[in-house]
Amino acid sequence: MIDAGTLHLDQCGPQAGLPPFWRLGVLTANAQPVIWPMDYRRGLLLQAGPKAAANTDRLLENCLLQVLLQSPSSGCRITVCDSGLSARFPALDELQRQTGDQAVRRISDRRQITAHVAAQVDKARNRRVQLARERLPDWISCLAARRVTEPVEFLVLPGLWGDFELLDNLRELFRSGGVLGIIPIVVLGCPPVRYQDNAQQAEAEAVLEDIRQAALQLLVDKDGGLDVRDPALGLLADLYRFFAPVVDSPEEEARQRATSRIVAALKQTPPMAVGGEEGVVIPVGSLRGSPFSLSLGGAAHVHHALVAGITRSGKTSLLQLLATRLCQAYPPSQVRLFLLDDKDGFSFSLFGELPHVEWLHQGLRGSGALQPVLAVFAAEADRRTRLLREAGPGISSLEAYNRWAPMPIPRWFLLVDDIDAALMAAEDGVRLREDLRMLLRSGASLGLHAVFSAQSCSDSLLDAACRAQMRLKIALRMGNSAESEALFGRLNEAALAMPPFQALVNTSDGDPEGNLRVELDHLPEIPDLARALDALRERYPLKPVAAEAWS
């Protein structure tokens, strides 16, 4: 017997796994709750009837809040692919405001949405290989057996548009994604997709019909009536049409309480492992009063960073903050740092004998140390490529390799303070630039990352092709429009009057609509940085035994 009261938002409590039931509403005749079993092997399709969009959104948000309240805090991840999240899902928007991407991730750009769905299809194929290797039936079984740490993914699209690549990938996820721990949830409007060309319309309808056959369907009308159609149960599901359940409408206070409980649980969650799908997450400050982190690697599709600003704008302090936060968030077995200051030798002087630091150079200007370290990275890229190839089909990235390897590979980070000083000192500038381009191109899938600072981008020795590969742009105060345009690759002048301890963060290829004005955390004095690093040395007193890094 199910105690339906436990499925109210106020009574939802954490469980060992994902909740096996969803509360969809209450019956109009006797106020009895409608509880539906969720086996998570199929996607969910919500069909919004005429004037029923608000009821559909409320039902979907209610179900997602149930999942977040009842699941282990690291057991599921929700990505909402919609530009209107604030208006349609206020509780989810509040969660994102308070926790960044930790509970709910939002993607609003249509090109990025299409790319993200394609990445989920690739992830599903990699997971299929791992399930076959582990001889387990589905991803939730893998989680229960503690064979993996990657959470179940809920991919929410509150609307579709005429993109055939998107539709084809969604069809593949609806057919098999649930078994692989990637659960698509799509809201179809009325009509769902509209084309002017009849042939295209017919093709789109055929894809949507395949999706309907694979999904659990919930049809919502303007009065809150709900029709549940489950292809797996056939006509039995049609019985629910006669009961006409009404979608729950929790009071705003209940939503606020649910949000607060989720936030409190997430604060107790340890950082995601480097082998996870999001790569590394580096807390650096706050955005509109909420914690803000930078993401590098994994599904973020952002692998390298370029920091720029005028003299004394805080570039060195930001690199020190990034290095410190990486070491605080991840153990030496997962993150290795290569630190180069070819400017004055002081930028990373306090990081010596830190277990995370594989290599530290504190030379004076013109030492030429960048060339040999790039050669080391090139050799490591070859080694990692060989390991991935030997691992078998479906293993094409560091994330995929680390999911099953008995000895996971750590991510390497090359931090260079003043990249122009390092490039200027090279004996063979042509060879150095080619090695650098190779690192930026091949390092993306191999867990090899570059983070550089530059005082000037308009006349930098770091050419435009390299800057384009460094998709995470962090602008401190910029000197003029030409410098800003050289950094972002397009006109974007928002950083010209940036105050101290603020940065303009952009991962949208310089598009001003992707600007984020971030308040940076600050280590104001050298003693504060020294104390933080001493605490890390006490926490990790011994360097890990390194495998042969470039055999």
Annotated binding site for ATP: 309-316
44 SS3 class: strand
What does the alpha-carbon distance between residue 32 and residue 244 come to, in Å, rounded to a whole number?
Answer: 11
What does the alpha-carbon distance between residue 479 and residue 347 come to, in Å, rounded to a whole number?
Answer: 22
DSSP string, 204-252: HHHHHHHHHHHSEEEEE-TTSBEEEE-TTTGGGGGHHHHH-EEE----H
Residue 482 sits at the vertex; the CA angle it makes with 479 and 488, to the nearest 5 degrees, is: 95
The residues, ordered by sequence, that sit 6+ positions from 238 with a Cβ below 8 Å of its Cβ are 229
Helices (H) and strands (E) in the chain, counts: 17, 20
Q: Which residue ranges are tagged as binding site?
A: 309-316
Contact 120, 153 (CB under 8 A): yes
Per-residue HEC secondary structure of 306-334 comes to EEECCCCCCHHHHHHHHHHHHHHHCCCCC
Contact 403, 146 (CB under 8 A): no
Burial of 125 (0-12, 13-18, 19+ CB in 10 A): middle
| 551: Cα separation from own chain's centroid | 32
DSSP string, 435-488: HHHHHHHHHHHHTEEEEEEES-STT-SS-HHHHHH--EEEE-S-SSHHHHHHHH
Tell me the backbone φ, ψ of residue 38, rounded to 5 degrees. -115, 110
The residues, ordered by sequence, that sit 6+ positions from 206 with a Cβ below 8 Å of its Cβ are none
What does the alpha-carbon distance between residue 73 and residue 417 come to, in Å, rounded to a whole number?
Answer: 37
DSSP string, 148-193: --PPEEEEEES---S-HHHHHHHHHHHHHTTTTTEEEEEEE-SSS-
Q: What is the CA radius of gyration of the chain?
A: 25
What does the alpha-carbon distance between residue 321 and residue 274 come to, in Å, rounded to a whole number?
Answer: 19
- Residue 403 burial (CB count, 10 A): 23
Residue keyed to tokens 């199929």: 42
